[in-house]
Amino acid sequence: MAEEAISRGTLRAIYTTGPESVQNPILQCVQIKAMESKGGEDRFRIVLSDVDHFIQSMLAHQSNHLIKNGTLKRGSIVRLKQFHPQDIKNRKILVVLALDVLTDYGELDKIGQPIGLETSIKPEAGQTPQPEAQPQAQPQAQQPADIGGNNFYGTNKPIKQQQSSLPSRNAPTGAPPGLATLYPIEALSPYTHKWTIKARCTNKSGIKEWHNKNGSGKLFSVNLLDESGEIRATGFKDHCDQLYDVFQEGDVYYISNCQVKLAKKQFSNVNNDYELTFQNDSIVEKAEDPDSVPQVRYNFTSIGDLQSVEPNNTIDTIGILKDAGEAGEIISKSTGKPYRKRELTLVDDTMHSVRLTIWGDSAMNFEVPVESVLAFKGVKVSDFGGRSLSLLSAGSMNVDPDIDEAHKLKGWYDAQGRNDEFTTHQQAVGTTSNKRQEYKTIAQVHEEQIGMSDEAQFFNLKATIIYVKHENFAYPACASEGCNKKVVEVNPGEWRCEKCNTTHPNPQYRYIMSCNVSDHTGQLWLSCFDETGRIIMDRSADELVEMKDSEDRTAEADSVFVDATCKSFVFRVKAKMDTFQDQQRVRYQVSSCRPLDFKSECTTLTEMIKQYSLEDNSLFVN
């Protein structure tokens, strides 16, 4: 019977004698509830029962598939393989990292009348909890409550407890003496205290310096990984000097006494709602058993699927190094600074190739032999001349990684891929050009409600500009290469970029303008960005802003706007629902445009006339 299989009394034992005393307990899942997550990753809270007691639990994301595919249900009997007990805000929580669902028992009703574990553990200061009598049936208020909102911990009021719920676990097995309880990364939050994580450094950034009106400083960051998840940690100023040489990519460390705060997603590609900041009392010690912590975790996008990825998104990818170009240097037009780069060509078994650019020291010190397997974490997708990739400063590159995807790719290449021919994404753009030439009139855009669906829709539009808004046509952008974020003037001659943590003497203005276009069926407002703005206005945004700001050139600036009208273009437009002032509307954003080629248009019209003539010869008189 299922009740006989359940490990009764184990939940209490975990918190009174320590989790080492309980091996693979068998429990019943009596509730499952989805919870919101800022990072977009699905999270689930479950209630586990050992018949005598129940406890609120958090399921690690690597076990989400058990709920999504219907294996783990309310009433299922489960065997816990890996778990961590916690005491957060005087509440007992069990973080479940791995479990097996004993499907032979099926889906059952709740067994017994378990009570909340916290009601049975009431230690006085300096005393050890005593075993309680066999529990009797309790009032409804003591049954597991809904897990959502304020009822996550049940309806019983919290009990005052000792500072540490695990007095016998002040130093976990294998950890240096004096460290706090070993926690999984996924369990860290601003409300977690006296914790230690054991994690692998998967990436270490370079040291970045900044100078502004408040002074100067420097920082570096590392990405840390354990079996439950990944988190970013940053050290500033003195901590940068103390810890930068301590961290080495690939090594495993015990880390404690860091500040846990909400993550700044614009500076990180790590999927975690929180991040760590090193403090004066932070402890970082190298672990002696690195094999107990997983290597870098990837979420690969194949090279053949890059066309379906929106530009400027960050992905992981893997491929065979088909070619490595020479290291070179480019000079930024905006800042005049040199940037070192090297272009690589990757291929995979989708029979596609892609150009990937690496920068800085990675480009100059690159000595990887051709036909090696390269795995990249944190590369940016670009749409310049077809899909291409660029390795971000926070990304990483791994040569011939010992993972299944790499072995499979190497086996395919050795067996047949070496002699195959590959389609580049530049070629892919050319082969799909006929499909992209599906033109819409403005009337058709409205009638077909293009952009009203959940997904973005694209169409081509031949139209003439009849008006360009003079106000707010450009914004001051960061002058750093590849960064287009808005900057703020903190002092005269000092423009600060929060993303790059740098200041520039001058911004680089970029177009962000609205224009009204018309064809023979109607009018439409389009949003245009810098590349499109340069084509329409026939000059850079910097030049036009300089005209507008100069009292004796305002008339010249106005004439530029006038000259932009009455010009016809072919626009590639992205239509997508947008919310503005609490109202939904369709936003039409120009992704590219080109002047109307009258010779090409005549050819197209001739072909259309020929098609009609084949269908109906009566249209023509011999």
| SS3 state of residue 458 | strand
Q: Are 341 and 358 in contact (CB under 8 A)?
A: yes
In whole angstroms, give the CA distance from residue 462 to residue 302: 35
SS3 for 405? helix
Residue in 92, 93, 81, 148 with CA at minimum distance from that of residue 118: 92
Show Cβ contacts of residue 249 under 8 Å, excluding neighbours closer than 6 positions. Answer: 201, 202, 203, 204, 396
Identify the structural domains of the chain with CATH numbers, from first to last: 10-118 (2.40.50.140), 185-286 (2.40.50.140), 303-424 (2.40.50.140), 442-473+512-602 (2.40.50.140)
Strands 91-101, 53-59: pairing kind: parallel
Which runs of consecutive H residues, i.e. helices, occur in 151-267? Answer: 238-243
Helices (H), 201-341: 238-243
Pairwise CA distance, residues 284 & 274, whole Å = 19
Question: CA neighbours within 13 Å on the CB side: how many for 102?
Answer: 19
Averaged pLDDT of the chain: 80
Cα–Cα distances (Å) from 440 to 565, 571, 600, in that order, read 21, 10, 17
Q: Which residue has the higher pLDDT, 448 or 346?
A: 346
The whole-angstrom separation of Cα 99 and Cα 334 is 55
What 8-state DSSP symbol labels residue 145? Answer: P
Token pair 């090279």 is found at: 303
Report which secondary-structure segment, H or E, holds 425: helix 425-431
pLDDT, mean of residues 69-75: 89
| pLDDT tens digit sequence for 262-316 | 888 766 777 788 899 999 989 999 987 777 777 777 889 999 888 888 888 888 9
Within 8 A by CB and 6+ apart from 565, the residues are 465, 466, 467, 468
pLDDT digits (tens, 9 = 90+) for 228-242: 888 999 999 888 989
Q: What whole-number distance in Å separates Cα of residue 281 and Cα of residue 164?
A: 20
- What are the E-state strand segments in 335-473? 338-347, 352-359, 373-382, 388-399, 423-424, 457-468
Helical pair 541-549 and 554-564, crossing angle rounded to 10 deg: 140
Cα–Cα distance list, 260 to 35, 166, 439 (Å): 21, 21, 52
**In terms of pTM, does the model score above 0.85?**
no
> Each residue of 511-540: pLDDT tens digit?
999 999 999 999 999 999 988 999 999 999
Residue reference for tokens 């499907």: 103
Within its chain, how far is the Cα of 237 from the centroid? 27
